[in-house]
Structure 1
Amino acid sequence: MSAADTEVSRVSPRYGEGRTALLAAAVRVGAEQGLRNLTYRSVAREAGVAHGLVAHHFGSRDALLEAALRYSLDNSVPSMSTRPGSGDLEALFGGIVDMVGSLPHDLAFQYELILESRRRPELRRHVDSLYSAFEETLAAELEAGGLTSDPSFVHLIFAAVDGLVFQQLTIADPVRTSAALGHLRTLLTLAGHREE
């Protein structure tokens, strides 16, 4: 068995896991090589399958991109709170630091998509979908905690979190990120007292 055969057998998905394995591979390719290199062949190579399988599952590159984005959001958005819907401000952003450590490809893929949309305006709808997913989840958490869910307030808070995530992803300083998120929770608690 050649080294290439070993590599394929090591990463080839098991029966019934093909679509998920392809989505994970698409996210890794987008994160590591950029969206311009996200092709059926590159995803198939990363997943250890024939490129026809990628076409079979997704039909178009845009459908693959959209499904990969949804997959990465499904992985990352739940980290907004360790106790979703509880209104517990201490739980808000509690999973962010761990998420960056455990899902770096998902986050890098999302940032690659955001940056690529500057060059390719047709991707803007995906970016809007990305930000909406995070901001809608954050708005629900803030509202459950008795805070305003005014869109501009939510946007401000998410922009702070997004910047911290980006910095941790690139600089890798989880202690600093955790401390900053703690201060953000304190500010939200103070904002809640002002609204009462």
Structure 2
Amino acid sequence: MTETDEAGRPGAAGKPRKPRKAVHYGAGREALLSAAVRVVARGGLRRLTYRAVAEEAGVTHGLVAHHFGSRDALIEEALAHTVRTSLNTSTLGAGTGRSTDFSAGLADMVNSDPDTQAFQYDLLLEARRRPELLPQVRTLYDEYFDATRRELSRMLPEDADDGLTRLVFAALDGLVLHQLVLDEPAATEAALARLRSLLRLLGADGDGDGDGTSAPTIAGP
């Protein structure tokens, strides 16, 4: 005797086969990457498998394998996807050269898409245990460092050096982590206002003359 088909006709041993989940072949590569991010955000990088992503996206296991070829490729492309998402939805690289626009809406960005941030922090911690992930993590941070340096250089009288770039991004990175865990948007925005004040002390927006003599006080927002 044959197994039942999806209409429920009798099968082997008279047991009906479970209906298969609908497959959305039109979901595309970006949808699969988003599914991978959600899997990691919920269960950690060790839960990331083709089958887990397929289940999350509502597609076949083979489709995920076809798109990415290896788990390492899936991780690398999911990471690149999260970087694009973060840079597109934040104003880290606003391009206006105004301190008031620098990282505006950071708390809202985290709250609207916490999985993207959780994926990146999980990968960061996993790289400490698995050095083979370090190249992907370095790529992640290089993207953020470059975006931060470009925006600081637009705001300040001189191009931002590596030390200032990393200092400012470390502040932003810490605020994102705290917002992700503690969910205190008012505290995040207050800290960002102080950061912008510090940047104006360095001459952001042309407020200073390069030697600090005409810079505003740090008490201002």
- TM-score where L is the length of structure 1: 0.90
Equivalent residues in 2 for 1:1-196 (5 A)? 8-9=21-22, 13=24, 15=26, 17-81=27-91, 84-147=94-157, 148-192=159-203, 193=208, 195=210
Contact 1:117 1:123 in 2 (8 A): yes
Aligned-partner residue type, residue 39 of structure 2 = V
Q: Which runs of 5+ in 2 are unaligned?
A: 1-5, 7-17, 212-221
CA-based RMSD of the aligned residues comes to 2.0
Structure 1 stretches of 4+ moved >4 Å: none
Rg larger in structure: 2
Report 1 or 2 for greater relative contact order, CA contacts < 8 Å, sequence distance ≥ 6: 1
1:195 to partner: Cα distance? 2.8
Contact 1:66 1:126 in 2 (8 A): yes
- Percent identical among aligned pairs is 47
Q: Alpha carbons of 1:13 and 1:95: their partners in 2 closer, same or farther (altered >3 Å)? A: farther
Contact 2:92 2:148 in 1 (8 A): no
Counterparts of 2:166 and 2:186, CA distance in 1: 24
- TM-score where L is the length of structure 2: 0.80
Q: Which runs of 5+ in 1 are unaligned?
A: none
Q: Select the structure that is richer in helix.
A: 1
Q: Alpha carbons of 1:187 and 1:79: their partners in 2 closer, same or farther (altered >3 Å)? A: farther
3-state SS of 2:87 partner: helix
Aligned-partner residue type, residue 122 of structure 1 = E
Counterparts of 2:111 and 2:24, CA distance in 1: 24
Counterparts of 2:92 and 2:126, CA distance in 1: 31
What is the aligned length? 190
